[in-house]
Structure 1
Amino acid sequence: MTASDTNAINILDLPDEMLHAIFNKLNMTDMLYSLVGVHQRFDRLVLDPLLINHLVFVTKQSDIHNSWVNMHVLDRIREEILPRINEIVKKLTVDTFSMKHVFGAIHYPQLYSLAFVNYQSDIFVRHLSDNTLLRHLEQITHLTVDIYSEKAGSFDGNDPCIFELVLLCCKRLIDLTFFHKSSRTYLPILPLNIPFTSYIISKLTKLTINLNSFDDCLYLLNACIESLSTLIIRIKRILRSSSEIDNKKQLVKLKCFSLTTDWYTYYYDKQVVPLLRRMLNLEELMLHLSVIRTGSAYIDGNQLYDEVLKYMPRLNKFIFHIHTHLNNYFIRTNVPSNDDIRNSFIKREFQSVNICADEKLTYGMGNCHIYSLPYYFEDFLFMSSCFQGGRFNKVRMVLLLDRLPFEHKLFKIISQGFPFLQKLTIVNYEPQTNEQQHLSTLITFKHLFELNIREVHTDYVIQLLSDRKTRLPRLTNLVIEYKKLVVVTNNFTNDMTRLNCAKIKSLITHKTFVRSQNFNSYFPCL
């Protein structure tokens, strides 16, 4: 026996705690297929009820094209493993590929939570009509539906019916998460059959949903007015609402409300504020909004209290990020300082709040961000040049937009304050004014994989793609105007931008072009 043999460690020599830690890092499918049946100790650890009461069968992106192998793996799990554990499974997460293998003839008597992810809407509807699945849906109290339509930018007339179909199939639901989107929008649920919908969701107490319009939100609230205690909504954009929809009836059952918008709204004062005033018994409120105002002032602590919070006497938790964009081009107004805005919160006993605001209007326009600390949300939208920094560990996406230039220093602040940033979009046609400043400070975005610099001045293409200024070691997705890409890369020969382009796998230019030999060597992963 050699020295190396005596020093070798057998995996079975490791303690249970360490093996559990190793197993927890494995994909559920891989863990069951690779470890069950290998050794009695592995069986005991892997089939521990605490570990497998929630089974997740979601195909890894790297395995999508290897369908034969996946089918073989899932067949073995269905035939040899699931019959051993079906009576202790309480939660299941499945995708299009795994669903038929996980259900079939197997019954899960304790199953109460079910999640469908990465489904095309038409396939999901077909699965809903399957008798085997319907039998399980009747016992489900917690359901997550994450589906999409392949049609670009719109839904057909049948898509909104999916929401009601889900409610009809799951009569015991108390907690529903429903995400249905196309490439550019969320599900429109109008017109809802409100009496019918109210009847079939009389037990629903929590709803998380993405909606296309504010009208959808109002219709949904009016349909669920007697049951919901928690409503979490993300709306694409808040536009003018229909005058026919009731926005006055009190929502006395609602205890927790969250409202997030993807884009700015002109209708905060006329639509959002009246809705919030209906929630007399609210205990938790979350707002993530961008508001455009004309001839008015930034939203501050005084306005929030006077217009919203004083109507919620039971409120004990308020999480928010509200961006105000002033457009006072034809009206001469003074704007408050950052200290004035901060004091408006201190006066109302809000201590953990941060402010970044333009204290002078440029062309009659200015921006103000007010947000609770620690910052709660995964995106920071409409960041402007007045941003001064902070710590934002949860944020994965930032949108930068302004008519004032973004200097090198701002990108340095962002790289330090957003250490886990993955997606960055910039909209700014103003050239940088301090091009030589801070060039000795190299910026690195360690986790950034998606960069959208299509609507920018060429200075920002150089700022982000030149490895003399910025390092993007994980950049794989780039959206850019083709003409600017050609100029900055000097027709794909510039060595200063070559490194940051070397791993790009998706390049969107919104223009067809013929690849040159230089292009192919510049983007070897395309």
Structure 2
Amino acid sequence: MEYSCVRINDLPDEILMIILKKMNNAEVRYSLKGVNQRLNKLVQDSTFTSRLTFVKRCSDNFFDVFPCNMMLNRFCLQILPENVLCAADYPNLYGLGLYNINEESARCLFTVFSYNALSHQSEIIQCFDDCLYLLDGRFNQLHTRCVDLIHINRPHEVENQGDLPNLKCFSLPCNLAISFYDELILPLLYRMSNLEQLGLYIEIVNTTFIDGNHLKRDIINRMPRLNQFTFHINSFMSICNPLDFSSAEDIQRTFIDFPKNGLFQYVRVISLYDEYPFEHEFFIRIQKSFPFREELTMINCKSQNEKQSYESNNGSQNLSLVEYSFLNEIAIVRVHDHYIEQFLFNTKTYLHNNVLLHINYESLQRVTHNFTRENTQINCAKINELILYGERCTNSSLQKYFPNAKICFFWSILKDKE
């Protein structure tokens, strides 16, 4: 049988389109623009021109689609018009994302660019000044805004300017801690009177303590159209007298009525950190408040106060069972042994199958009595992936105790790579 050589031009347009749709649009235009008249016509199709992405995201990093400046320059100078943002009006443009762009370039682009049709924007920017600059009122039709800030400092020149009535969705993550929350974040949010979706992922130091009362009084109640509020907020306060500060139980109560508003039905990831102990009743409230959570991370080195009273009165048999119906990943690496018992004791917690567990090896060995304890054996059998932190240890009982789990040691993997 003779081999036949099929060239790209021999393929029908329908097959070519199927193949090209699997590629990045920018790569398609770079590779095929100018090859011949037929391919020129194909790459002009709206499939390849309606959305152009020059970066790929992997984990928390962005990588250029074009590995060298020569390829990027050819694309910008020969395929797109020079200074593309200023070349024309864009009546159909609905989104623009700029990542790792310097301040000078951003100011140049947005000073001359037409904003009227732009409705969605996201970018990585350095400081709060840049955020305010891009929200100074020129984006009249902007309804979605996603800002990934490096840090938030007091602005030098730009101030909050007027309402943003068309803004419906706003997301603000920040890498570094914020010390001007009341002065900067709240005034910015108050400009968004018609906001429907809000995401805040911030860390606050020595300013307003964020509890349920604050979120309801100062954010939720001031946004009548808000129907989705996603947040991961850490509050760190320096206090001289602990008596001047609310107890952990008082703070937890401020969130009790949140589920009545339907705010937590979309929560999938929960992180718990406190310097005060979490008692069994707290986990019951977490179960009721976040019914669809899938991932839970906890850091707490304080022992449970009520554990001894339960055991002395044989009260553990009367505890309400905490059932995690959707939980598939648990990270309890830096916790007191009491919390490992909290999750692994079948008399306290009911886990469904196929759970990924992150845990310290020595703590796990201690709590399970060197992988022989009956109270923890049922839940351990439901773990399908076990990531152990600490030195690799040879223990023949470990795999038998976790019969359905794929087991690996995290620190050992890191050392092997080094």
User: Which TM-score bucket, shorter chain as reference?
Assistant: 0.5 to 0.7
Alignment-derived partner of residue 118 in structure 2: 205
One-letter code aligned to 1:407: E
Q: Is the 8 Å Cα contact of residues 450 and 477 (structure 1) preserved in structure 2?
A: yes
* Matched residue, 1:258: 170
Report the Cα distance in structure 2 between the residues aligned to 1:216 and 1:497, rounded to whole angstroms. Answer: 53
The aligned counterpart of 1:129 is 30
RMSD value over aligned CA atoms? Answer: 5.0
2:180 to 267, 270, 273: 267
State which of 90, 93, 98 in structure 2 corresponds to 1:174.
Answer: 93
SS of the residue corresponding to residue 146 of structure 2 reads strand
Tell me the SS of whatever aligns to 2:334: strand
Name the counterpart of 1:525.
Answer: 405
What are the residue-to-residue correspondences of 1:223-302 with 2, within 5 Å? 225-233=138-146, 235=148, 239-241=151-153, 243-244=155-156, 246-250=158-162, 254-261=166-173, 265-276=178-189, 279=191, 282-284=193-195, 286-289=197-200, 292=204, 294=206, 300=214
**For the residues of structure 2 that align with 1:494 and 1:128, how far apart are their CA atoms?**
62
8 Å Cα contact 2:122-2:145 kept in structure 1: yes
Aligned position for 1:409: 281
Q: Which moved more, 1:416-425 or 1:282-291?
A: 282-291
Alpha-carbon distance between aligned partners in 1 of 2:187 and 2:46, rounded to the nearest angstrom? 37
Tell me, yes or no, if the aligned pair for 1:324 and 1:368 is still in contact at 8 Å: no
Secondary structure of the corresponding residue to residue 332 of structure 2:
strand
Q: Supply the distance in 2 between the matched residues of 1:196 and 1:141 (Cα, whole angstroms).
A: 20
Q: Which residue of 2 aligns with 1:464?
A: 343
Structure 1, 491-500 or 241-250: larger mean CA deviation: 241-250
Alpha-carbon contact 1:228-1:254 (below 8 Å) kept? yes
Letter in 1 for 2:153: S
Asked if the contact 1:467–1:496 (Cα under 8 Å) also holds between the matched residues in 2, the reply is: yes
Give the drift of 1:295.
Answer: 6.8
Q: Residues 449 and 475 of structure 1 are in contact (CA less than 8 Å); yes or no, is this contact kept in structure 2?
A: yes
Query: Per-residue deviation at 1:329?
Result: 1.1
Q: Letter of the 1:256 partner, please give it.
A: K
Cα separation, 1, equivalents of 2:339 and 2:112: 54
1:326-365 alignment, distance < 5 Å? 327-330=237-240, 359=250
What is the one-letter code of the residue matched to 1:409? E
Separation of aligned partners in 1, 2:378 and 2:323: 13
| 1:218 counterpart residue number | 131
CA gap of 1:445–1:154, structure 2 versus 1, over 3 A, is same
Work out the CA distance in 1 between the residues paired with 2:260 and 2:297.
24
Residue 18 of structure 2 aligns to which amino acid in structure 1? V
> Given the alignment, which residue of 501, 508, 520 partners 2:387?
508
Q: Percent identity?
A: 19
Aligned-residue offset at 1:463: 0.7
Deviation at 1:258, TM superposition (A): 2.0
**How far is the alpha carbon of 1:431 from its aligned partner?**
0.5
| Residue ranges of structure 2 left out of the alignment (5+ in a row) | 1-10, 33-38, 407-418
Residues 65-103 of structure 1, C-alpha deviation per residue, up to 9 Å, x if partnerless? xxxxxxxxxxxxxx99x95xx9xxxxxxxxxxxxx8735
Is residue 304 of structure 1 aligned with residue 218 of structure 2?
Answer: yes
Q: Distance between the aligned counterparts of 2:136 and 2:276, measured in 1?
A: 45
In structure 1, stretches of 5+ residues that fail to align are 1-78, 87-99, 107-115, 181-186, 310-314, 337-355, 361-365, 377-391
Query: For residue 90 of structure 1, what is the aligned residue in structure 2?
Result: none
**RCO (CA 8 Å, sep 6+): is it higher in 1 or 2?**
2
Partner of 1:400: 272
- Alpha-carbon deviations, 1:445-478, whole Å to 9, x = none? 1110010111211110111122232121134322
Measure, in 2, the Cα distance between the counterparts of 1:224 and 1:137: 31
1-side partners of 2:282 and 2:136: how far apart? Answer: 46
**Are the structure 2 counterparts of residues 145 and 203 from structure 1 closer, same or farther at C-alpha, using a change threshold of 3 Å?**
farther
Deviation at 1:480, TM superposition (A): 1.5
Following superposition, the deviation at residue 484 of structure 1 comes to 1.1
Residues in 1 aligned to 2:152 and 2:349: alpha-carbon distance in whole angstroms: 42
The structure-2 alpha-carbon separation of the partners of 1:139 and 1:252, relative to structure 1 and needing over 3 Å to count, comes to farther
The structure-2 alpha-carbon separation of the partners of 1:434 and 1:303, relative to structure 1 and needing over 3 Å to count, comes to: closer
Q: 1:430 aligns with which of 302, 311, 314?
A: 302
Conserved 8 A contact 2:154-2:184: no
Question: Structure 1 residues 330 and 444 mapped into 2: Cα distance closer, same or farther (>3 Å)?
Answer: same
Give CA deviations for 1:183-203 in whole Å, capped at 9, x if unaligned. xxxx64444433325656635
Per the alignment, residue 149 of structure 1 pairs with: 58
Q: 1:129 to 1:368 in 2, by over 3 A?
A: farther
CA distance in 2, matches of 1:127, 1:477: 39
Distance 1:395 1:464 in 2: 20
User: Quick check: 1:214–1:239 contact (8 Å CA) kept in 2?
Assistant: yes
Partner of 1:102: 18
The alignment's TM-score, normalised by the length of structure 1, stands at 0.53
The 3 A distance-change label for structure 1 pair 204 and 496 is farther
Are residues 331 and 422 of structure 1, via their aligned partners in 2, closer, same or farther at CA, if it must alter by over 3 Å? same
TM-fit CA distance, 1:262: 7.2
Q: Does 1:374 align with 2:261?
A: yes
Whether contact under 8 Å (1:444, 1:472) holds in the other structure is: yes
